[in-house]
Structure 1
């Protein structure tokens, strides 16, 4: 990956990202909680992890160290990169680079996470305080597309977690289904996220909702799913593309309007990037 990496997210604008579907992504996002959801951890180690593992890739020494977001890692080498531990070693999802690190007699494979193809990766590099997605978590992903970011969320939550991936497009849905054949912690749901009652029998209560649906009624869509599937104390993360909501208003006005809509739905946004 050509872009450099700063542990605090420098080098990537905090207000921008790039989406799974190609083209420039949303100009903002929100994280928040529901019910008893607490605030964010502040302070602490925002930079490098405490320990790293050295490995060898094509004769070049690299080191992988944990990021402050659990389940996310930094690969240090000639070019630093954000990576996740590959749940299915030997398999790439979208042509991303992979690196193997020796740990004793075992080898651990990591996948490069391209922030130009994932709004969540861009948010992490932009310095977002919390993503609420961690090993063992149950995640409802709205707007899964072909599964680029979903695959990395699958890596993060690991074999003890689940990713319910909702996508309306049947074409993207086919890619998602093929992805789930190899990644057994992904449950693809090919349905319109506006109608959670149509798939309520498939999804249990979740810890986190991540939404990237790029629709004018995005907040309403998230609220409907949150009321149905999000546990008390759970969290949501929304990627908002202002132009998709109101192309005539400024981004700041759109974000302020969306915050009000969330509050009316008893959703409590805690952070904006």
Structure 2
């Protein structure tokens, strides 16, 4: 069997058209990739000038770069005559399957995006999230890492962080120190109140404004309770609380003000024979 192929016709009908299409597809891909890189870099610089969070900048860069690359590939394949409609549908179906398989990870991912965008806390803040307290050490797309006061590292999935109540103890520059001090019913109430005011006002880390509140809050079963509420800088909170607690105990002991403690009185009655 002999094949009669006209070289001129082969060149005209097949080689030249396909060569042109392949060349154009390569040009589209190369130029598109260069343009995608330029757009991504320009966007990153603009976001940096806007002083956005570095984590958010990196995330947006990645999303933009991936999206532009996929568009370039689709345009290049369409130049080769590939049915891109079917390709897009296939990618969508694959994305749906992956999404269903990784729905928990995607929920953490979505929560991470919300945390990065809305910024309820930042690195170094002392927070309570997902039932855990600690200083924020790292925020990623999928999890938030906390460092506890005893130097433990706790990783909390972002879904647990964003889906629950978040308490940021460092959001404000000042904090109120809430203390309860009890004295016995036999102690001098006005003297105790005066001593508490003197102790608090003499502490160098207690702020003058807002004013400290000292008041009788409760006539309890075995004590008269004062609320003592001084204000301090956020970073001085624990120092003020601990130092005032020690100073109040020492001063009350020196001034004869009794701080009651739980006790039980047992009365014995002798029965006559």
TM-score between the two structures when normalised by the length of structure 1: 0.20
The structure with more strand, counted as a fraction of residues: 1
**When the two structures are superposed, what TM-score results if normalisation uses the length of structure 2?**
0.20
Instruction: Give the helix-richer structure, 1 or 2.
Output: 2
Structure index of larger Rg: 2
